[in-house]
Amino acid sequence: MATDIAFALGMLSLIGKKVPISLKIFLTALAIADDLGAVLIIAIFYTETIHVYELLVAGCFLLVLIIANKMGVRRTVFYAVVGLLGVWLLFLQSGVHATIAGVLIALIIPVRAKVNETAFIDKLSELLNRFKNEKPNDISLLTNSQAQLVSEIEKASNDATTPLQKLEHALHPITAYFILPVFALSNAGIHIEGSLLKLMVHPISLGIILGLVLGKAVGITLLSRLAVSFNMADLPEGVNWRHIYGAAFLAGIGFTMSIFISGLAFVDEEYIQIAKAGIFCASFLAAIIGMTILGTKSK
């Protein structure tokens, strides 16, 4: 069900300036909500056995993180270690899918900086002026005063960054260059035996294609229309309904989470391969339709 953010935004980038930046923001927010929905579905429908003791202990560690947040603890390492060893591993042992633990931990890590932007700029300006006024050492090593000022600049920069951003920044290279490629390679392979057309007309493939291509488009468009009609929301600046229709179809591009859920949903390897074929076909159709709508000039 979840939109593949990278592919959907990649399609928008190919269209260029025809697409307002606000539509990219809309599609990104939509895809994030999709991912959270997929995580909830995994938790509700694909949890076979729940071990209550492990879940309760994991809840205790979550409570520790919440209390630490309220007390002002800002050490990113603390949240990473307690979150991984105390929450994530116990969720894994409890039978509830560990992706739920990731969402819960992310909600608890502090998202406010210790100092605001104005205070950071003032402090940084003061420290830089003091550093400029220090007498040069004329060698590669800093003087004691210069080294102290550099440490204060580093501390000020650290206080101006939220713990959540620090953890995200630290995990990004691991996620982008290792976890996602391994995930893609291990899940995306399709071994086709027999007729491809036969795979496409299989009930599993048809259900996936209808869900991703038509279901996503109709659902997103209808709910967007209702939200605007009842004054619950406004269209983003520079975005018209043609943009929404195109983005709604692009949201049907689903690889990562869709393939992942297909592996949870089916035990039979043949059904898993049929599901993957349906996902790729649906994603291709959704991309073509969405690009065609967005690439067409409005009258």
SS (H, E, C) the chain: CCCCHHHHHHHHHHHHHHCCHHHHHHHHHHHHHHHHHHHHHHHHHCCCCCCHHHHHHHHHHHHHHHHHHHHCCCCHHHHHHHHHHHHHHHHHHHCCCCHHHHHHHHHHCCCCCCCCHHHHHHHHHHHHHHHHHCCCCCCCCCCHHHHHHHHHHHHHHHHCCCHHHHHHHHHHHHHHHHHHHHHHHHHCCCCCCCCHHHHHCCHHHHHHHHHHHHHHHHHHHHHHHHHHHCCCCCCCCCCCHHHHHHHHHHCCCCCHHHHHHHHHHCCCHHHHHHHHHHHHHHHHHHHHHHHHHHHCCCC
Q: What confidence score (pLDDT) does residue 82 get? A: 92
User: Which structural domains are found in the chain, ordered by start?
Assistant: 1-39+191-299 (1.20.1530.10), 40-113+163-187 (no CATH), 117-159 (no CATH)
Q: What confidence score (pLDDT) does residue 226 get? A: 96
Chain segment 69-114, per-residue pLDDT in tens: 999 888 888 998 999 888 999 988 888 877 788 888 988 998 888 8
Amino acid letter for position 110: P
Q: What confidence score (pLDDT) does residue 191 get? A: 61
Q: Average pLDDT of each block of 10 consecutive residues along the chain (299 residues)?
A: 82 82 90 83 79 90 93 88 90 82 87 87 91 81 86 90 87 78 63 70 92 94 95 91 93 85 87 88 93 78
Q: What confidence score (pLDDT) does residue 56 get? A: 92
